[in-house]
Amino acid sequence: EPEVTQTPSHQVTQMGQEVILRCVPISNHLYFYWYRQILGQKVEFLVSFYNNEISEKSEIFDDQFSVERPDGSNFTLKIRSTKLEDSAMYFCASIGVGAYEQYFGPGTRLTVT
């Protein structure tokens, strides 16, 4: 069964450093998302992406964040200068055309020290 994959599973970085989180959505899906979950809190929407541009973004998704689909398979989330409060689990999700359910990857746990 096709699945969304994410790498790395765990990333530790120092405050102020740039990180790139990678996702490979399900191959025939066209809509992509990033969500985050701070430890013990609910899952929060960050950004949605379709046709090589951002469809919607939340207030969390400020200028420090960017997304990119550099090729036909990868979808990345970049945080330019990480802060302590960026420590969270980051989930990538994708959805097929005409479908309603989003399929989530296993997540990347980002720890900022």
Partner 1 sequence: AQSVTQLGSHVSVSEGALVLLRCNYSSSVPPYLFWYVQYPNQGLQLLLKYTTGATLVKGINGFEAEFKKSETSFHLTKPSAHMSDAAEYFCAVTHTGTASKLTFGTGTRLQVTL
Q: Which is nearer to partner 1, 10 or 80 (CB)?
A: 10
The stretch near partner 1 (CB under 8 A) out of 16-24, 51-59, 64-72, 75-83 is 51-59
Minimum distance from residue 47 beta carbon to partner 1 (Å): 9
Minimum distance from residue 13 beta carbon to partner 1 (Å): 20
8 A C-beta contact, residue 37 and residue 105: no
DSSP string, 45-100: EEEEEETTEEEEE-TT--TTEEEE--SSS-EEEEESS--GGG-EEEEEEEE-TT--
Minimum distance from residue 105 beta carbon to partner 1 (Å): 6
Minimum distance from residue 5 beta carbon to partner 1 (Å): 10
Q: Contacting partner 1 (CB under 8 A), which of 7, 22, 31, 66?
A: 31
Amino acid at 108: T
Pairing of strands 31-37, 5-7: unpaired
Binding mask 75-104 for partner 1 (x = CB under 8 A): ----------------x-x-x-xxxxxxxx
8 A C-beta contact, residue 54 and residue 75: no
